[in-house]
Amino acid sequence: MNPLIAPSILASDFANLQQEVEMLNQSEADFIHVDIMDGVFVPNISFGIPVTESIHKHAKKPLDVHLMIVHPENYLEAFRNAGAEILSVHIEACPHLHRTLQAIKQLGAKAGVAVNPHTSISMLSEIIEEVDLVCIMSVNPGFGGQKFIENTYSKVSRLKDLILSKGSKTLIEVDGGVNLDNTPRLLDAGADILVAGSFVFNSPDPTQLISRMKESV
Ligand code: DX5
Ligand code: ZN
């Protein structure tokens, strides 16, 4: 199966957001990955609800919103209203993850859980059947353009095993430092969705690069 591709708008030119979104509309991208950073959960601030709304106004692809914020439960409705189709919260920011996932589903969105590089897949074993998507961070969240962490391959395999053992339909997303070099091994390990920021937007031909990632089976 071809992977689903989710270019991260964080790496785009914010002064030309409409054009960047229209470029993604024309491409083979499956989602637009929207990185929300609060300067507390992660050491960086990106953008918030009004910008997400503006992206949604022009987007023909569903928004995959990655909340790198503390107390994400307080902002789920606002981001859903701003156009989020998938809402991913960090397991490290959710003491009541089950409740938070139920709240996301009640809003009619797909419920995602993101896990930092140090977080073990075993933390998901009691909840995996409630999760539509697990976002495995292959860098420490907070910045685009970082180096891919090699341990991610085995982590994806362990997650795939857990999903299969529970008979769950959870999708596996990998986020951070993804490029055409690591894509084949990630897909072999069981990844379904690839997020790519700098690799796509720093390219002279982002649309073509998205197609190449899509075809890299
Ligand atoms: C990292 C973000 C990623 C990032 C990916 O904190 O969650 O989505 O934008 O960017 P690249 O592909 O440049 O690592
Ligand atoms: Zn992200």
For the domain that residue 18 is a member of, what is the CATH number? 3.20.20.70
> 60-99 pLDDT, tens per residue?
999 999 999 999 999 999 999 999 999 999 999 999 999 9
Cα–Cα distances (Å) from 75 to 38, 50, 102, 104, in that order, read 12, 13, 14, 10
User: Which structure tokens are listed for 80?
Assistant: 């859903």
> 101-126 pLDDT, tens per residue?
999 999 999 999 999 999 999 999 99
The rounded Å distance from CA 8 to ligand 1 centre is 7
Is residue 132 annotated as part of the catalytic site, yes or no? no
Number of domains in the chain: 1
pTM reported for the whole predicted model: 0.98
Structural domain that includes position 93: 4-214
Cα–Cα distances (Å) from 123 to 100, 115, 116, 158, in that order, read 16, 9, 11, 12
Length of the chain: 217
Instruction: Write the ipTM.
Output: 0.99
Could you say which of 64, 132, 175, 192 is catalytic?
A: 175
pLDDT score of 64:
99
